[in-house]
Chains A and B, each alone.
Chain A
Amino acid sequence: MTPAVASRVRTRRPWASTVIGVLLLAVMLFPVYWMANVSLQPSGSAAQTPWFPVQLSFAGYGVALSQQGGHLLTSLIVAAGSVLFSLLIATPAAYALAHFRVRGSTAVLFGILISQMIPGIVVANALYSAYNNLGLLNSIPGLILADSTAGIPFAILILRAFLGAIPTEVVEAARVDGAGQIRAFVSIVLPMSRNALITAALFTFLFTWSDFLFALTLTTTEDVRPVTLGLFQYIGTYVNDWSSVMATAVLASIPAVALLLVAQRYVTAGVTGGAVK
């Protein structure tokens, strides 16, 4: 992102561009505004939602929290579990791919790229019967494992790019001082790649939180139900209370918004890093 400054176009009337940019953003984010607006309307006003929430009401959020609160908690647990599991699996692998010339690492990398072409429905189709036999249907560990199909390949790719930038000499210096392979990894490499780990963790969280396909196919009861599926079931039937549906949608968007506001500098790195590297 640093070469940005050098190659920017200087414009004569910069504020005119700002106006265009704001208008563009207003159009692009209108659906997000509409979601928030409807969520704050008194429930039952299906027809002719006012343009602004003049009659501010949090009734929709009350309904959403009482009906979907448990689902939000399930999503949170699954997402947090998937972050831990994904990083645990992906970080050593990314380090190995970046720094060791182990036999077969090209094959692993190739496999990761190919895995991106495999449709989720194919994975779900096979996992359903396997999970049925293993008793993993309707379980938190089952969802964590399945949802990590998005997080692990992404985390390996993005961490590999970052870890590759750590000079080999740094690790070798530690080795010469008597540190073992694992010690060097834990006490030298991991602290140095903090930012990369945060980026990978944030995106893995977001992927898992947003998962819909595995929630839809690998759960059949109310026991373990992420909020994405709760929302889908809301809109699957005839809706007469859109304010509570939109309140649920707002609650389900909190991680995305939080990510943009709090961890903005990691976001662009994540979007570009996973794609091109």
Chain B
Amino acid sequence: MADTHGRGGVTTYRPSNGAARAATSVPARWSARRRERLLQLAFLVPAVAYLLAFFGYPVAQNVVMAFQHYTTATFYTGEAPWIGLDNYAAVVGSAVFSKALLNTALFTLGSIAGQFVIGLAIAVFFRRQFPLSRVLRSLLLLPWLVPLIVSGAVWRWILDQDNGVLNRFLGALHLVADRPGWLTSTSLALIAVIAVNIWIGIPFNMTILYGGLQDIPEELYEAAAMDGATGWRAFRYVTWPLLRPVVNVVLVLGVVYTIKVLDIILGLTGGGPANATQTIATQSYQLSFQQFDFGQGAALGNILIVISLVFALFYLRASRGAVRG
């Protein structure tokens, strides 16, 4: 009771009906308030329990597993010997690690740059008023809405070296001498995977940036036009500065989502050829679910979380900025 009373000032529900409040005795009011508070908490408890079980527990468990020799044998014997930092040493020391780290950086930066620039260009284009613009704009969302593994399957066939439609098209135009192995050549695979991921991400970038553009008042463009700023100069001095908060959110969200992409890489190349498209996320999957070394998979996963969290700080700052702006 004392505890409830102590925190009473923080709680929210204040009965707006003064007469009703005056009519009840003091202890009854306390217990009513306590009931109210418990009820309010009850609204939140299931979600908190779920978040703890399906985000909190996995993260904690990964931290623990990374210090253990945790393999398939563990499921039978129930034993996972402590091995200190051996998993981290093995994961970071492996030849794949630096390759995967570089690929993750290239994949993330390349995807974001492409998605953002093309998405912004399309968003600016759709500011024009023309027949069918609404319909066209919403149909453009389709690549983002279909399951990633579907996109992977479709692009795998489009990019097929011998029978893919891209090579047929390029061959017909005499643009390439021999058929490039988009997904099978170590020098092209990462570029192809990035290109596909750009295709997937354009609609998302376009939609959010378009929403941001709609919030810029038309009068500002009219005023800018009077001062002689149209076209590129209007973009540079009106659109860009006012769009900045939205740009921040789009970019940081893009990084956070792209850095952990798994589906599209597994669907297109499976991380190959010769680790040419292996990222931290796909390598973590390989370690846990192909080599069944869950300890090493956990260690690599934790490294990915740390990288993500660095961006998370940017994200929180950016989204706070967007809310204020």
Chain A residue, CB-CB nearest to B270? A236
- Contact flag A10-B129 (CB < 8 Å), given A128-B294, A275-B208: yes
- Residue B30 at the chain A interface, CB threshold 8 Å: no
CB-based contact A8/B128 at 8 Å: yes
- Residue A83 at the chain B interface, CB threshold 8 Å: no
Q: Which residues of A contact B152 (CB under 8 A)?
A: 232, 235
A-B contacts, 15 of them at CB < 8 A, read: A4-B214, A7-B215, A14-B128, A24-B136, A29-B143, A31-B151, A101-B10, A122-B284, A124-B288, A126-B57, A130-B57, A234-B153, A249-B150, A249-B153, A271-B141
Chain A residue, CB-CB nearest to B50? A89
CB distance from B159 to the nearest CB of A (A): 10
Chain B residue, CB-CB nearest to A211? B147
On chain B, the number of residues with a Cβ less than 8 Å from chain A's Cβ atoms is 116
- Chain A interface residue count: which class? 35 or more
- SS of A interface (majority): helix
CB distance from A260 to the nearest CB of B (A): 6
- Residue A187 at the chain B interface, CB threshold 8 Å: no
CA distance A20 to B274 in the complex (A): 41
Q: Which residues of B contact A20 (CB under 8 A)?
A: 125
Q: Which residues of B contact A92 (CB under 8 A)?
A: 42-44, 46-47
- Residue A113 at the chain B interface, CB threshold 8 Å: yes
Of the listed stretches A54-62, A192-200, A212-220, name the one at the interface; the rest are far from the partner chain.
A212-220
CA distance A127 to B13 in the complex (A): 39
CB-based contact B128/A117 at 8 Å: no
Top 4 A-B pairs, shortest CB-CB distance = A93-B47, A101-B12, A126-B58, A210-B147
Q: Which residues of B contact A90 (CB under 8 A)?
A: 47
- Residue B232 at the chain A interface, CB threshold 8 Å: no
Chain B residue, CB-CB nearest to A228? B149
Q: Which residues of B contact A210 (CB under 8 A)?
A: 146-149
Chain A residue, CB-CB nearest to B55? A115
CA distance A167 to B248 in the complex (A): 30
CB-based contact B260/A119 at 8 Å: yes
Contact of A113 among B202, B204, B304, B315 (CB under 8 A): B315
Of the listed stretches B33-41, B173-181, B186-194, name the one at the interface; the rest are far from the partner chain.
B33-41
Q: Which residues of A contact B285 (CB under 8 A)?
A: 121, 217
Which chain B residues (259-298) contact chain A, with CB distance < 8 Å?
259-260, 262-263, 266-267, 270, 281, 284-285, 288-289, 294, 297-298
Contact of B249 among A4, A105, A245, A275 (CB under 8 A): A275
CB-based contact B62/A126 at 8 Å: yes
